Structure 1
Amino acid sequence: MTIRRRTAPHRTDRRPRSGARTALTAAVAALALAAPAAVASSPAWAGMRHSGVVGERPVGWTPHVLDGRVKAVLPVGDLVVVAGRFDRVTGPDRRGSVERHNVFAFERGTGEISRFFTPDVDGTVTSLVPGPYRGTVFLGGHFRRVEGEDRRGVALVSTFDGETVESFDARVAGGSVYRIDAHGRDLYLGGTFRSVGGADRRGLARVDAATGRVDPGFDIGISDARRGSLRVHELAAGPDGDRLVIAGTFTRVDGRPRYQIAMVDTAARPAALAEFSTDSYAAPCDYSRMHTYMRQIDFAPDGSYFTVVTAGGPKLKPGLCKTVARWETRAGADAEPTWVNYTGGDSLYSVEATGAAVYVGGHQRWMDNPEGDHAAGPGAVKRSGIAAVDPRTGRALAWNPGRRPRGHGVEALTATPEGLYIGSDTTGLGGTYRGRLGMFPLNG
């Protein structure tokens, strides 16, 4: 069962009348309660495999974000949802601008900004995941209210009108949500929170994607923060739904040593800590104000390996700060990375594995730079803010569109059938003006 879509709903100057909006939201809520079979087996975009490397010149039809930072990009049907911390956006032709606070959507292929999808979100949206029904999307991040309703950290909203789906309420308390991901009916939450739905869940939880009810069969305890607040900063679910990799400030998980990174066997009933372990991220190669240098994680399309990118402190020190590394999913205890690519002193914030390439984004100046110290060492190649790495060897590929200025860096990379979306805090991409958002086509 799916929600019937109205004809060309995103090509109008008006949002639905309040009665129509209420009826639509009620229909979504009713579907959430009455039709569990409508929940997809997995998000359609997860594990997106590309046949080759994307082109170096971005398309001209994406809109522009005029301030702040883009932190997440996600296709939902014929729309692309964009999230982060911003207030104004404009169309591809840069004529005029409209207010959009922290999230907006545009039409795939034209860049036309949706006039219906204008949810009022009172804080930064850091993460997007497809909702369980057509025309819905999960928002995750550092916010308390969506459309005036209490939806701390996570909310399910309709892309038809931006309203919250009232049947979903995870009731997160005691902290923020940093990252969300999903597989089938399972929605994973990571952050600094202390409870979900009234149940004690410190920084990590699994809830029902339709209702937000906490899963009693998933109770993985993190503890002993290396610095600052205890939290899960990043998490990624495998494409088969049987593994979840988490990263954060913890140094123990379920009482066992797991320094900043751990793997959960989500196929087990109840879920259990997997044997995978490594001390590779134990080196204090960052600085005291950085609670964790772990950043994004992404699984390969076939789930056989996952990739991890890291940030770090201002000084180069021994360890895996400011790197991208490949890890085999079925590795056991005391695992070592298959390969590591060093930037030589600049942080990486985002990663996307497509089979043909591992794309990384940040504010790096070089790749293949293990001996560089804020300078090009032997064998280093110039890569300004974005790069592609060979999944087999870990060496930088020839792809080199560049970003100037590099700014803080790229925080959003999303592979889709049409190409690779990128979100950042700067306006120069592939030698053209693209305001904090762009897309490199797969066949171009």
Structure 2
Amino acid sequence: AMPRLVAFDATTGRIDTTFRPVVNSTVKALAAAADGLSLYIGGSFTSVNGVAAPRVARVDAATGARVAGFAPAALNGQVNDMRLVGTRLIVGGAFQTVGGVTRRALAALNAGTGAADSSVNLRVDGPRTTTTGVTAPVKVEALDVSADGTRLIFVGNFSTVAGQARHQLAVARLSSTGATLSGWSTDRYRPNCSSSFPTYMRGVDISPDGTWFVAVTTGYMYTGQLCDAAARFEFGTETGGKQPTWVNYTGGDTLLSVAITGPAVYVGGHQRWLDNPYGRNSAGAGAVYRPGIGAINPVTGKALAWNPTKDRGVGTAELYATDRGLWIGSDTNTVAGEYHGKIAFFPLP
């Protein structure tokens, strides 16, 4: 058994039996370390290889052994996403404290030692409440950093950042001295979607050139709102009132993940359709069938012809675009009519 974290050959798919970390709970996030020999992991776990590791650890990429000298400050809740930016490991999740100090949902650790880095303190706050009173602690669901390392975007359950109104999505500037909130903002994620969950943000990805991004959501069929949809926004000037360049609606099905390659915006979830603004849990006028995974034209916002199809299940939770192709991870086993157990790879044209 190799629970929760496993390595395999990217060409053959063969499991690497020498990589054997022992992680006691879910791993939600990975980031390659700068040395090319190790990786950071984040999730809900509290120990790795029998040693305390409260939600973050660094392990040898060949063996899974813990890397000596990395002793991260304790996080009191799950890590959902992470990015390595220079000497900082930026983490987002459902934690409320780091090393016993209040630091809700977003924090940085020293990439070498794991010590808390107080230079990233954007004071994420304001847990949302639905129309029926459902609420939850502040959290970051997903984040991304531009290729040049200067821009951070994060989404989740919050309504203020650094004392300013930011509804479920915020942009910050990163520098050698820390992080500062950008003036960029949108009110389009202020309304509620479903009455059963306070945040409907599920994924976000910045374009390779760093000038725009796409956010994907769950929700439930609210006309005029960005529920169950992929939406492109431009960064542009750092001002408020931003509106999406385009929105692609599923018509009532959740999108969980997004990856931008330049020629395409890939989206995953348990959606049945794209191009479906008129659908209400049905295929409305213009809808195209794109079960579980699809691709969107980054300029027009319309679905591309690419349609491998996959078993939908809970959904395609992970998309990872590389120079070689697109990796997908989900809870199902059939992609393009073939067996691919939970993981599949598409070479990019």
Instruction: Tell me whether the two structures share a fold, i.e. TM-score over 0.5.
Output: yes
1:411 aligned counterpart, secondary structure: strand
The one-letter code sitting in structure 1 at the alignment partner of 2:51 is E
Question: Which residue among 274, 291, 294 is the counterpart of 1:387?
Answer: 294
Separation in structure 2 between the aligned mates of residue 114 and residue 321 of structure 1, nearest angstrom: 40
Separation in structure 1 between the aligned mates of residue 116 and residue 124 of structure 2, nearest angstrom: 17
Question: Which residue among 119, 143, 146 is the counterpart of 2:21?
Answer: 119
Identity %: 42
**Alignment partner of 1:338 is 2:245:** yes
Question: Which residue among 108, 122, 129 is the counterpart of 1:206?
Answer: 108
| 1:76 counterpart residue number | none
Shift of 1:169: 2.0
Structure 1 unmatched ranges of 5 or more: 1-98
Separation in structure 1 between the aligned mates of residue 338 and residue 71 of structure 2, nearest angstrom: 42
Separation in structure 2 between the aligned mates of residue 109 and residue 425 of structure 1, nearest angstrom: 21
The CA deviation string for residues 65-89 of structure 1, in whole angstroms up to 9 with x for no partner, is xxxxxxxxxxxxxxxxxxxxxxxxx
Separation in structure 2 between the aligned mates of residue 318 and residue 151 of structure 1, nearest angstrom: 44
Question: Which residue among 61, 81, 88 is the counterpart of 1:179?
Answer: 81
**Alignment partner of 1:415 is 2:321:** yes
The CA deviation string for residues 257-299 of structure 1, in whole angstroms up to 9 with x for no partner, is 11111111112734211001111011111222x2311011111
Shift of 1:198: 4.3
The count of corresponding residues between Structure 1 and Structure 2 is 342
| 2:160 counterpart residue number | 252
| 2:67 counterpart residue number | 165
**Alignment partner of 1:351 is 2:258:** yes
2:83 aligned counterpart, secondary structure: strand
**Alignment partner of 1:426 is 2:332:** yes
| 1:235 counterpart residue number | 143
Shift of 1:402: 0.2
Separation in structure 1 between the aligned mates of residue 145 and residue 116 of structure 2, nearest angstrom: 17
| 2:127 counterpart residue number | 225
The one-letter code sitting in structure 1 at the alignment partner of 2:254 is S
Question: Which residue among 278, 293, 298 is the counterpart of 2:205?
Answer: 298
Separation in structure 1 between the aligned mates of residue 178 and residue 59 of structure 2, nearest angstrom: 30
| 1:215 counterpart residue number | 117
Question: Which residue among 267, 276, 282 is the counterpart of 2:184?
Answer: 276
**Alignment partner of 1:152 is 2:59:** no
* Inter-CA distance 269–155: structure 2 relative to 1 (3 Å threshold): same
The one-letter code sitting in structure 1 at the alignment partner of 2:287 is A
The one-letter code sitting in structure 2 at the alignment partner of 1:147 is N
| 2:132 counterpart residue number | none
| 2:342 counterpart residue number | 436
Separation in structure 1 between the aligned mates of residue 92 and residue 234 of structure 2, nearest angstrom: 22
Separation in structure 1 between the aligned mates of residue 69 and residue 109 of structure 2, nearest angstrom: 13
Shift of 1:441: 1.1
The CA deviation string for residues 1-52 of structure 1, in whole angstroms up to 9 with x for no partner, is xxxxxxxxxxxxxxxxxxxxxxxxxxxxxxxxxxxxxxxxxxxxxxxxxxxx
Shift of 1:158: 0.5
Separation in structure 1 between the aligned mates of residue 266 and residue 216 of structure 2, nearest angstrom: 10
| 1:26 counterpart residue number | none
User: If the length of structure 2 is used for normalisation, what is the TM-score?
Assistant: 0.94
By relative contact order (CA 8 Å, sep 6+), the higher-ranking structure is 1
Q: Does the CA contact (< 8 Å) of 1:229 and 1:291 recur in 2?
A: no
**Alignment partner of 1:100 is 2:2:** yes
Shift of 1:174: 2.5
Separation in structure 2 between the aligned mates of residue 139 and residue 347 of structure 1, nearest angstrom: 26
The one-letter code sitting in structure 1 at the alignment partner of 2:63 is D
Structure with greater helix share of residues:
1
1:220 aligned counterpart, secondary structure: coil
Shift of 1:316: 4.5
Question: Which residue among 249, 273, 285 is the counterpart of 1:378?
Answer: 285
Separation in structure 1 between the aligned mates of residue 40 and residue 55 of structure 2, nearest angstrom: 10
Determine which structure has more spread, i.e. the larger CA radius of gyration. Answer: 1
Separation in structure 1 between the aligned mates of residue 318 and residue 77 of structure 2, nearest angstrom: 23
Shift of 1:219: 1.2
Separation in structure 1 between the aligned mates of residue 9 and residue 344 of structure 2, nearest angstrom: 14
Q: Does the CA contact (< 8 Å) of 1:316 and 1:344 recur in 2?
A: no
1:438 aligned counterpart, secondary structure: strand
The one-letter code sitting in structure 2 at the alignment partner of 1:281 is Y
1:189 aligned counterpart, secondary structure: strand
Q: Does the CA contact (< 8 Å) of 2:73 and 2:116 recur in 1?
A: no
The CA deviation string for residues 121-143 of structure 1, in whole angstroms up to 9 with x for no partner, is 11111111111212211111111
User: If the length of structure 1 is used for normalisation, what is the TM-score?
Assistant: 0.75
Q: Does the CA contact (< 8 Å) of 2:73 and 2:109 recur in 1?
A: no
Separation in structure 2 between the aligned mates of residue 165 and residue 102 of structure 1, nearest angstrom: 19
**Alignment partner of 1:143 is 2:49:** no
2:175 aligned counterpart, secondary structure: coil
RMSD: 1.4
Q: Does the CA contact (< 8 Å) of 1:132 and 1:185 recur in 2?
A: no
Separation in structure 2 between the aligned mates of residue 330 and residue 163 of structure 1, nearest angstrom: 44
Q: Does the CA contact (< 8 Å) of 2:327 and 2:345 recur in 1?
A: yes
Shift of 1:196: 2.1
Q: Does the CA contact (< 8 Å) of 1:125 and 1:142 recur in 2?
A: yes
